[in-house]
Amino acid sequence: MEHPRYALARDRTVRQDHAVLAARLDGRWLILDSQRAELIEYTRVPDLTPVFAIDNHGVLLLAASYE
């Protein structure tokens, strides 16, 4: 796995933010989400919008502010 990072994601289905762990494996982003019972490829969770990511380089803003 390459460069795991924590991310704050917005679940648009339930309109709540929560933390997930994201990592790249074989060129694909995989998400470990405590609200799902499996490690899932990012393309299979279209209801999640990443907002911030935190890794060894610091904090990265991924999405604009929302109301």
* pLDDT single digits (tens) 17-62: 889 999 988 889 999 988 887 889 989 988 988 898 988 888 888 8
Gap between the Cα atoms of 15 and 3, Å rounded = 28
Torsion (CA) 56, 58, 64, 66 in degrees, nearest 10: 90
Mean pLDDT of 9-24: 90
CA 22 to chain CA centroid, nearest Å: 5
| pLDDT over 70 (residue 4) | yes
C-alpha distance across the termini of the chain, in Å: 34
The tokens describing 47, both together, are 């209801």
Gap between the Cα atoms of 19 and 55, Å rounded = 13
Domain ranges of the chain: 2-61
The tokens describing 26, both together, are 């074989």
